[in-house]
Structure 1
Amino acid sequence: MSHRLLRNRAFRLLFLGKSLSLVGDAVVPAALSLAVLRATGSTSALAIVLGCAMVPRLLLLPLGGVVGDRFNARTVALTTDLVRCAAQLYVGLQLLGGVSGLWQIALAEAVGGAASAFAMPTLPRLITGSVTGDDRQAANSALGAVKSVTGLGGPALAGALILIAGPGWAFVLDAASFAVSAGLVAAIRIGHVPAERRSLRVDLVEGWQEVRNRDWYWTSLVAHAAWNGAAAVLMTIGPALAVRQLGGERTWVAILQAGAVGLLLGSLLAGRARPRRPVLAANLGLATYALPLALFAAGTPAVTVIAAYGLAMAGLGFLNPVWETSVQAAIPPGVLARVTSYDWLLSLSAMPLGYVLAPLAASAWGPQAPLWAAAIAVGLACAGTAAVPGVRRFTVTDGAAGALPPKTATRGHDGDEHSTEQADLSTGRDRVTR
C-alpha cells in the first residue's frame, strides 16, 4: 500500500473496517456448515440455509443499487453493517444457548443476505468518495489482497475457534467485526450529491441502460458470468475427482491453497501493473480458468492441476482490482451503485445454474463432460471479449478511463490504435464528492 493511501484517513478507516469484516466472514462458512449439520444431520438442510442467504441477495441487488445511488454511501454502509451484525449475533447467541433450530438460522441468514444486497453496490461509492482516481487501483488491490489473505487464514482460524469454543463463537466474532466496521465507517466523512427523486422503475431502467449502452461492460459481464458458472462446476465435481483420481483429500486441499496463493499474488500484481487496455488484459487473464478445468477433465497429474489452478486464480486476483478501478473511473457517479448491482447480479447468476447442471451432466455423461463444457465456455467467453470493439478501445491515460470512439482512433506504425480524444469519460477528479 502506498504512503499516500496510508496518509488518507478516510481510506485507512474504510480499509480497517472492511478487513475486519472479511476476517469475520472467513470463519462463518465452516461454522455454518458444522452448526447446521449438528442440528439436522442433513446436507439438504445446509443447502436450504445457503439458499436462504443467496436468494434474497440476488433478488434485492437491483434495489440495493438504487438505494446506493439515492442515499449517502456512508449511511447505507453503516446501516447494512449494523443489520448484518444483528443477524450474525442472533445466530451466535442461539447456538451458544443451545437453541439451534433450522428456521432461526435460515431466517437470520436471509436477513444478512438481504443486507449484503445493499452493501455490495455501495462499496465502490465508498472507495471513490475517499480515494482519488490515481490511487483507486492501489486501494482496490489492497482490499483484494486482504480478501485473499483471509481466504488463506480464515479456515484455519475457524477450525481453531470451533474446536476450542464451538461454532456459536464464530458467529459472535463475525458480528463483532461488523460492529467495529460500522463504528469505523461512522467516522468517515463522505460528501453526497442528492440525486433526483424519481420512481423506482425509472431508476432501475436508467441503471440498466448504462450497462446496455457500453459494449465493453455488458460483454465482460457475460464473460464473468461464464467464469462463475465454470467455478461452480469445478467446485461441484472437482473434490470427488481429486479424491478418486488425483491422490485423495490432500490433493484437493493443495489445489484450494494454491488458488488462494494465486489470488493473493494476482491482487498484489494488480496494485502495480497499469495495462493501457485494462479490461482486455483482465478478461484475457480470466480466460486462464479454462486450463485447470481442461486438465482436470483430461486426468493429468495432480501437480499440473495444482499449478494451473494457482495460475487461474492469479488471473482472478488481477481482474478484480483492475475491473473495479476501470468501472469506478468510467461510470458516471450518479449511477455507479446501480451499475455495480447489475454487475453482481449478472456475474453471480450463473453460479446456481452451474451447481444444478454439473451433477446432472456428470450423471448422464460422466464427470469429464461438464468439465470440458465449462472449460470451452469460459475460454471462449473471456478470450472472446477481445473481439468487442469497446473492450479493445477501453484505455487508461493519466488516471482517466474511457471507451475511445472509433472516429478518434488512428493506426500507428506499430499496428496499435492511438487516440486523439476520449469520450464517455468520468475522471477521478470529477468524482470527489458523493
Structure 2
Amino acid sequence: MPAPASAPAPAPPSPHPLRTRPFRLLFAGRTLSLLGDAAIPAALALAVQEATGSTAALALVLACSMVPKLLLLPLGGVMGDRFDARTIALAMDLVRCVTQLVVGVQLLGGTPSLAVIASVEVIGGAAGAFATPTAAPLVRGTVPEAGLQRANAAMAVAHSASRVGGPALAGALIFTVGPGWAFVLDAASFAVSAALLCAVRIARVERPAPGARPSVLTDLREGWREVRTRDWYWSSLIGHSAWNGAAAVLMTLGPGIAVHRLGGGAAWVALLQTGAIGLLLGSLVADRVSPRRPVLTANIGLATYALPLLLLAAGAPAVVVIGAYGLAQAGLGFLTPVWETAVQRAVPEHALARVTSYDWLLSFAAMPLGYALAPLAASTWGPGVPLTVAALVVAACCLGSALLPGVRRFTGGPDPVAPAGAEAVSLPGTR
C-alpha cells in the first residue's frame, strides 16, 4: 500500500522589504528627504517673516509652491508613465537640491529677497509635481508582490516619524545656527537621495516606442479612464478630497479655538503632537495587519476624522478633542500604506503614475478650498458651523463609499476586469 502523500510544506515567509538592497536604498533616500522637508515649514515661515514682516507675503510664497504643483501634477503622471520613474525622481531631487540651496545661501547671506524665494518655490513646486507620481512606480518596481504592503508601511512610518522629529530638528537649527541651515540640510538630503537613486535597480516596465507614443492629451484621457472605470478608486478619491478639505478647515480654525476655549497654545501643540504619534502608530499597525477588504476598511478608518471636528464644534474638553484627533490620525496612518498597496496591485504598471497623480491632484486641490471657505463661514455663522459641515462631509463621503459594490468586493488583488484599452504590463523577473 503506498504511503500517503505528505502535505506540501508551507511557503517560507518572504523577507522584509528592507532586507532587499533596491528597496533599502530607496527607503534611505526617501527618509532623508522627508526629514529634511519636515524642517522646512517653520524655517520658511521665519525666513519670509524676517524678509518682509508680512503674513500676506508668506501666503504668497506658499501659493507659489502649491499652484504649479496642482497645475502640473497630471503632466507629471504622464511623464512618470512614459519614462523611467527612477530617472525622473533623480532629476527632480537634483532640482530641489539646487532650489533649497539657493534659499539657504540667501538666508545665510543676511539679505533674503522675497522675489528670489518666491521664484525658487515656483520651481520647487513644479519639481514636486513631477516627483510625486513616481513614488508608487518606484516602490512597485523594487519590491516583490508579497512585500508591497510592508514596504508601503515602512514608507508611511518614515513619513510619520519625520512629522514627529522634523519640527524638533527645525527648532534646533533655527535657534542655534539660523533658518538658512535648515534649507542647506534639506538640499543635502536631496543630494544624498539622488545619489542613492543612482544605485537603485527597478524592474523594467515595457512602454511604447517613442514613435508610437500617443499625444499627451490622449495619455491624460487614458489615465482618467483607468480612474473612472474603477468605482472603488474614484469613490475613494472623493473621500480623500473631502478629508483634505476638512483638514484645512481644522488647521485654519483650530488654533483660535484652542487658544480661547481649550486652554491656550499648549493645547494646540499637544493636539498636533498627539496626531503625529497617532499617524505613526497607524502606520505600524498597517505593517502587521492585512485587512481582507482593504479599501472598505481604510475608508471606514478615514471617516474617524469627523470625530475631532464634531467635538471641537461642540466645545468638548481639550483632552477629549486631543484623543479623538490622535485616533483620527491613526486612521490616516493605517489608510496610507493599505491604500497604496491596493492601488499598486490593481492598476497596470504602465498607468500607475497617471492614476496616482489624479489622487494627489484632488487631495491638494481641496485644501486651498478649505483654507478659503473656513474663515468666511466662521465669520458669518461662527466656527461651529464649518467644523460640523466638514465633519458631516467627511463621514458621508468615506462611509458612503461602502454603498458601492466595487468597494465592498475589492480584496486587494488585480482587478478582475481591466478597463477598456488597458492591458496589464508585466515586470520581467519580479512578478
Aligned counterparts of 1:152 and 1:348: Cα–Cα separation in 2: 22
- CA offsets 1:254-286 (integer angstroms, 9 cap, x no match): 100110010000001111111111000000000
Correspondence for 2:80: 68
Amino acid at match of 1:279: V
Correspondence for 1:134: 146
Shift of 1:4: 3.3
**2:210 equivalent to 1:194:** no
Within the candidate set 237, 247, 253, 2:253 is matched to: 237
Name the SS for the 1:281 alignment partner. Answer: helix
- CA offsets 1:11-43 (integer angstroms, 9 cap, x no match): 000000000000100100000000000110100
Identity, in percent, stands at 64
Aligned counterparts of 1:327 and 1:192: Cα–Cα separation in 2: 17
Cα distance change, pair 224–96 in 1 and its aligned pair in 2 (3 A): same
Correspondence for 2:418: 424
**2:410 equivalent to 1:394:** yes
Q: Aligned runs of 1:54-65 on 2, under 5 Å?
A: 54-65=66-77
Correspondence for 1:406: none
Contact 1:329 1:428 in 2 (8 A): no
Q: Aligned runs of 1:113-152 on 2, under 5 Å?
A: 113-152=125-164
Contact 2:18 2:151 in 1 (8 A): no
Correspondence for 2:334: 318
- CA offsets 1:136-185 (integer angstroms, 9 cap, x no match): 11011001001111101110110010111111110000000000000000
Amino acid at match of 1:106: A
Aligned counterparts of 2:423 and 2:254: Cα–Cα separation in 1: 43
**2:20 equivalent to 1:4:** no
Name the SS for the 1:395 alignment partner. Answer: coil
Within the candidate set 162, 174, 178, 2:190 is matched to: 178
Shift of 1:348: 1.7
Aligned counterparts of 1:432 and 1:232: Cα–Cα separation in 2: 43
Shift of 1:432: 5.3
Aligned counterparts of 2:427 and 2:233: Cα–Cα separation in 1: 20
Aligned counterparts of 2:317 and 2:402: Cα–Cα separation in 1: 32
**2:340 equivalent to 1:328:** no
Shift of 1:192: 3.8
**2:65 equivalent to 1:49:** no
Aligned counterparts of 1:202 and 1:423: Cα–Cα separation in 2: 22
Q: Aligned runs of 1:345-424 on 2, under 5 Å?
A: 345-396=361-412, 401-403=413-415, 422-424=416-418
Amino acid at match of 1:299: G
Cα distance change, pair 360–213 in 1 and its aligned pair in 2 (3 A): same
Equivalent residues, number: 411
Shift of 1:246: 0.5
Aligned counterparts of 1:328 and 1:431: Cα–Cα separation in 2: 13
Correspondence for 1:280: 296
When the two chains are superposed, the root-mean-square deviation of aligned CA atoms in Å is 1.7
Correspondence for 2:8: none
- State the TM-score, normalized to the length of structure 1: 0.92
Correspondence for 1:293: 309
Amino acid at match of 1:379: A
Aligned counterparts of 1:377 and 1:246: Cα–Cα separation in 2: 25
Name the SS for the 1:198 alignment partner. Answer: coil
Correspondence for 1:256: 272
Amino acid at match of 1:18: R
Shift of 1:193: 2.0
Aligned counterparts of 2:336 and 2:19: Cα–Cα separation in 1: 24
Within the candidate set 100, 121, 127, 1:109 is matched to: 121
Contact 2:48 2:114 in 1 (8 A): yes
Aligned counterparts of 2:229 and 2:41: Cα–Cα separation in 1: 38
Shift of 1:3: 4.3
**2:219 equivalent to 1:203:** yes
Name the SS for the 2:112 alignment partner. Answer: coil
Aligned counterparts of 1:429 and 1:337: Cα–Cα separation in 2: 14
**2:321 equivalent to 1:305:** yes
Aligned counterparts of 2:132 and 2:67: Cα–Cα separation in 1: 15
Aligned counterparts of 1:428 and 1:98: Cα–Cα separation in 2: 54
Contact 1:22 1:150 in 2 (8 A): yes
Aligned counterparts of 1:32 and 1:4: Cα–Cα separation in 2: 37
Shift of 1:424: 3.4
| Structure 1 residues without counterparts, runs of 5 or longer | 404-421
Aligned counterparts of 1:387 and 1:161: Cα–Cα separation in 2: 49
Aligned counterparts of 1:6 and 1:211: Cα–Cα separation in 2: 31
Correspondence for 2:230: 214
- CA offsets 1:43-93 (integer angstroms, 9 cap, x no match): 000000000000000100000001000101111111000001011011101
Contact 1:68 1:338 in 2 (8 A): yes
Aligned counterparts of 1:312 and 1:231: Cα–Cα separation in 2: 11
Amino acid at match of 1:351: M
**2:242 equivalent to 1:226:** yes
Aligned counterparts of 2:408 and 2:236: Cα–Cα separation in 1: 12
